[in-house]
Structure 1
Amino acid sequence: MTRNASAIRLLPVLLLLGAAPALQGCVGVAVGAGATAGIAASEERGAKNAANDKGIQLGINERLFQKDLGLFGKVSVTVYEGRVLLTGVVQKQEDRDEAERLAWSQGRAVEVINELVIAPSGSLMDSANDTWITSQLRVKLTGDSTVVDINYSIDTVNGVIYLMGLAQSEAELTRVTDHARTIKGVRRVVSHVYLKNDPRRRPV
């Protein structure tokens, strides 16, 4: 991940952390409340789960930020119905373990999936291509009328696409992964998607 990419990820968290004291006690306060609520209500997980997941994500990001700014800049956190997915590239096993420990320490995760890749400092990374891959897949899913694209989170690291979310059916999930595999530069597709009727789901 480039320094610019890290800075972009850092800005919203800094703004949220800075605003936290002013928001305490204001349960109804939300950024872009109308649009956000509308999107969340359309998702399979529902608005309540979406809000819970955002709280878990912010809590983990805050712990990463407070523990190690460098680690915060390298780790991407995705949360879906309490399941936490960690992606990105870190320099050593200790960093990978620490990120997972901090994710669990937030206290509300039901699962932590650690997909962090270990690579030495100076390893060639192509974050621009990863961003392009993610955007291309999002376009493909949005344009596919047989896919409820809002139910999928996408993250790409070194050409590996990580999927998280809920699928309406096996057929839909197959279409999503097939779309992913057709994109130039994709090395592998890793799915952590559940079917909507999966008994392992533990929504709030």
Structure 2
Amino acid sequence: MIRISRGWRDAMKAVSVCAVLAMPLAACGPLQMPLEDRTGNDQWVDTKIKSGILGEFSKVDHTYLIDVNVDIWKQQVMITGMVDSKGKYFDVMSIVKQDDRIKTVYDHLEVADAETIDAYHKAEDEYGKNAVPTDSATQSVSDTWIESQIKALLLAEKGVSSVNYRWQSVSNIVYIMGDAQSGEELDKVLSIVRRIKGVKRVVSHIATI
């Protein structure tokens, strides 16, 4: 098993964030990925919204870039993760809600004490992409592993367009958003996610189009 320290993981995430912030949006223009059920304009606006939020995070408190997940689909924003005070919670949500292009905010940001958050990060670092840690007292299944399973299983499933979904697993609770082409696809997606080992609960913001 390859173990990645939190410092290295955080550095890699920060690099990814910087890449998003540095993207030359004005030069790119509206683009449409052929398989997504989003118009080119939706993708363009979603990208600008996310880069704006992350830019504000970097100005106000760089830890928000590590501890808070921002997922966007058709100007609907899903916020997940953990912060260690109510002040930070209100700070994050205030930043997110500043953008009037956002249609809906799905607020799943948790407030936990610093020790709990630190233990969570250490567990994720320790267990990586393995499903079952050696010490199951802290966390039975890695969220990283759950997220990788969702990606693999949705991608492999016939009748499911995985590119139309965004998801996060936090403390083994999966939050998922996006568009399903039919009620059948919606049921299939939720069934797949619920069957993954370790998933405690699924919170769905999936619409049927």
* TM class by smaller structure: 0.7 to 0.9
Shift of 1:16: 4.5
1:83-98 paired onto structure 2 within 5 Å = 83-98=76-91
Separation in structure 2 between the aligned mates of residue 85 and residue 184 of structure 1, nearest angstrom: 24
Counterpart-to-counterpart distance in 2, 1:114 and 1:24: 27
8 Å CA contact 1:78, 1:84 repeated in 2: yes
Query: Aligned with 1:138: secondary structure?
Result: helix
The two structures have a TM-score, normalised by structure 2, of: 0.80
| Aligned counterparts, 1:47-58, within 5 A | 47-58=40-51
Alignment of 1:67-106 (within 5 A): 67-106=60-99
**Equivalent residue number for residue 34 of structure 1:** none
| 13 and 173 in structure 1: CA distance in 2 versus 1, 3 angstrom threshold | same
The answer to whether residue 120 in structure 2 is matched with residue 116 in structure 1 is no
CA distance in 2, matches of 1:64, 1:171: 38
Structure 1 unmatched runs, 5+: 31-36, 197-204
Structure-2 separation of matches of 1:71 and 1:15: 16
Aligned to 1:146, the other structure's residue is in SS state: coil
Matches within 5 A, 1:155-194: 155-194=168-207
3-state SS in 1 of match to 2:97:
helix
1:44 paired with 2:37, answer yes
Q: Is the 8 A contact 1:74 1:90 kept in 2?
A: yes
Post-superposition Cα deviations, 1:11-33, rounded to whole Å, max 9, x if no partner, equal: 1232444x46xx475344x9xxx
Aligned to 1:11: 15
Alpha-carbon distance in structure 1 between the residues aligned to 2:45 and 2:26: 16
Helix, strand or coil at the partner of 1:26: helix
**Percent identical residues:** 28
Cα distance in 2 for partners of 1:59, 1:9 equals 17
Once the two structures are TM-superposed, the CA of residue 155 in structure 1 deviates from its matched residue by 1.0
C-alpha change, 1:16 and 1:182, in structure 2 (3 Å) is: closer
CA distance 1:25–1:173, change in 2 (3 Å): closer
2:25–2:48 CA contact under 8 A, matched in 1: no
TM-score by length of 1: 0.82
Partner of residue 140, structure 1: 153
Equivalent in the alignment of 1:65: 58
Q: How far 1:149 sits from its partner (Å)?
A: 1.3
Q: Which has the higher contact order (CA 8 A, sep 6+)?
A: 1
Give the aligned CA root-mean-square deviation in angstroms.
2.1
The match for 1:26 is 27
Q: Are the structure 2 counterparts of residues 41 and 119 from structure 1 closer, same or farther at C-alpha, using a change threshold of 3 Å? A: same
